[in-house]
Each structure stands twice: as C-alpha cells, then as structure tokens.
Amino acid sequence: MFLRDSGATLTTTTGSVLTIGAGQTVHGRGGITGAFVNEGTIRNDSTSLLTLTPQEAGIANRGRIEVQGGGIVINNAALFDNGGDVVVNDGRSLTANGGYNQSDGTTTVNGTLTVNAAPAVFQGGTLGGVGTVRGDVRSTAAVVAPGNSVGTLTVVGDYEQQSGAVLRIELRDPALGTPSSDHLTVSGAVILGGTLDVVRLGGYTPPPGTSVEIISAASVTGRFDTVLGAGPLDVIYTADRVLLYARCAAGDGDCNGTVDLVDHAAFADCMAGPGALPHPTRPGLTAEQCLAGFDLDGDGDVDLDDFAPFARAFAVSNP
C-alpha cells in the first residue's frame, strides 16, 4: 500500500476496521483516518508529514511504525496503542496529540517524541534510545532502558516509575568507550519505585571511591523497591540525582585505607538527623559523598544510627 508523494488520505468508513497485514507497507506522506490494525509497516520516508488520526476503535500497532522523513503526527492519540515497534530515527520527530500509550512492544526514540495534553504511559514493553521525549513519562510495568546499549535518554517533563516498572542501566569499563554508563536526564520531577536493574557489562565494577551518576532531575523523590545486578555498588539518592557508588571500607569516607580523624570530622559535618539529606559545610565535601561514606545502615541519611558502626570502624583503625 502506498501514499508516496500523493498527499492523499486513506479513510475507513464508520464501523469498519482496516488491517494492514504482515508484509504490507504504507509509506510516504498524507494520512490515514479511522480505525485500523497495523501488522505490517508504516513508514514516513517523505519530506512531508504523515498524519494518523484514529477514530472509533482506534489504532492498534502490532507491526512497525518508523519515522524516517518529515515526521509523523498522531491525532486523538488517546485512541492509539503500541504493541509492536515504534522507531523515531535520529533527527526525526513523532508527535502524539492526546497522550501516548504502549501496552507491549518497543518504542525507540533516537530523535524526538513529543507528547501533548496527557502523559506517555508505558504499561509494558520497552522505552529506549538516545533521543528526547518531550512530555511527562509514566512507566507502570515497562522497562525503561536508556541508550542503544550505553547512552542517555532525555525526558523534558516529569518521570514517574511505579512498582511494576524497571529502569535498566548498563555500565562498562571507560576504557571501552564513552559514555561508560546509561543515564536518564529529566528536566522535571522524578518519582521512583519499582526496580533498578544494573547490567555490568563484562562484570565491570568501578574502582572503590568512584561514583556513577545514572539519573539527574530537578527533584528526586522515592526509592527503588528492588535493586538487581549492582553487586558491590550502593545506590545513593540525593535531592536531584541518583548515583551508583563503589564504597570503600565502612567509615573510610576519603578512601585512604584507614578510618581516621579526618573521617571523624567529616562524619560530624555530614550528620543531619533521621530522614534528612546531609548539608556539609567542609570545602569539597558533598551530600553524595556523605551518603556514600557514612550512611552505614543504608537508609538514606547520616544520623546517630550510623554512629555506632562508624565508631567500631574508627576503633579498629585506631587501637
């Protein structure tokens, strides 16, 4: 099936559902209006827009939608569901007016996915790529995997990860190339839950005392319910970032091999009480360093509960 260069619109009649079968391809410019199931391929390979306007039963993608040319616009996007593959190539754009829904399959954003009027909701499947999603993203039971292997996915909006969802982050030895880790960059608020799945390619573990930032945002609230694959790495949560940290010996905040008076002074500066993020005043000492070095019970703060294990470590180093 072809719409190439004609600018024509294919419209289904009321009550009917068009099926684009496996092995069939719609490509070019123009539009499709009505209810249809795509089991084949819809490809915009013209320099002009291809417009999809679902009506009645909506559009169910069970095949492949690929943006190669001038872009694709989905109107009435609340009636669109992706259960196949959607690919937005580098430098290309897909605009969904009215939200974006995925029940299964894969959305790969290497260009720009713009979602207006409602969030992009991922109920299953995978969201990945190295491009930009403009709009809020809500992952309820999907896997969000930044990069095409290792890379950065950007969300211009808020990001919410619910209990059934997974954020998959790959790490690799920096000697094998940069970037050395996946990263989720969010311009708005991040609300965390669900699972963090850390994939250490080749079994790579950063050296002790090294931190790897995996999320940056305007604000971060919540914590992952489950962490998989991190091995010796700790997850550090700050007000606007999430990091993986290769911890040194307990209480050895400066990773010099001993728990000494320098660490004792730093511990005191890091204490902020239960549930409070540290606000150190010592030059060069940051909140994430406080949590990495002195949150010895792993509850996200530095308080009196951490002092007992710190004191034991100090006593061992200073008999």
pLDDT tens-place string over residues 6-38: 555 566 656 557 778 888 887 767 788 888 899
Strands across the sheet containing 85-88 = 25-27, 41-44, 64-67, 85-88, 106-109, 126-129, 143-146, 166-171, 195-200, 226-228
139 burial class (0-12, 13-18, 19+ CB within 10 angstroms)?
buried
Looking at this protein, which amino acid is placed at residue 86? V
pLDDT at 1: 45
Share of the chain above pLDDT 90, in %: 78
| Mean pLDDT value of segment 183-203 | 98
pLDDT at 31: 83
Q: Return the SS3 of 34.
A: strand
Mean pLDDT of all residues belonging to the chain = 92
| Mean pLDDT value of segment 236-242 | 95
pLDDT at 30: 79
Share of the chain above pLDDT 70, in %: 94
| Mean pLDDT value of segment 265-290 | 93
The residue with greater pLDDT, 21 or 280, is 280
| Mean pLDDT value of segment 144-158 | 98
| Mean pLDDT value of segment 243-268 | 94
| Mean pLDDT value of segment 171-200 | 97
263 sits in which H/E element: helix 261-270
User: How far, in Å, CA of 86 to CA of 65, rounded?
Assistant: 5
Model confidence at 5: pLDDT above 70: no
Model confidence at 220: pLDDT above 90: yes
Q: Residue 2: which pLDDT band, with cuts at 50, 70 and 90? A: very low
The residue with greater pLDDT, 157 or 10, is 157
Highest mean pLDDT among 29-38, 118-127, 172-181: 118-127
User: How far, in Å, CA of 290 to CA of 273, rounded?
Assistant: 13
Model confidence at 180: pLDDT above 60: yes
| Mean pLDDT value of segment 58-78 | 93
The residue with greater pLDDT, 31 or 219, is 219
Q: Residue 219: which pLDDT band, with cuts at 50, 70 and 90? A: very high
Q: Return the SS3 of 159.
A: strand
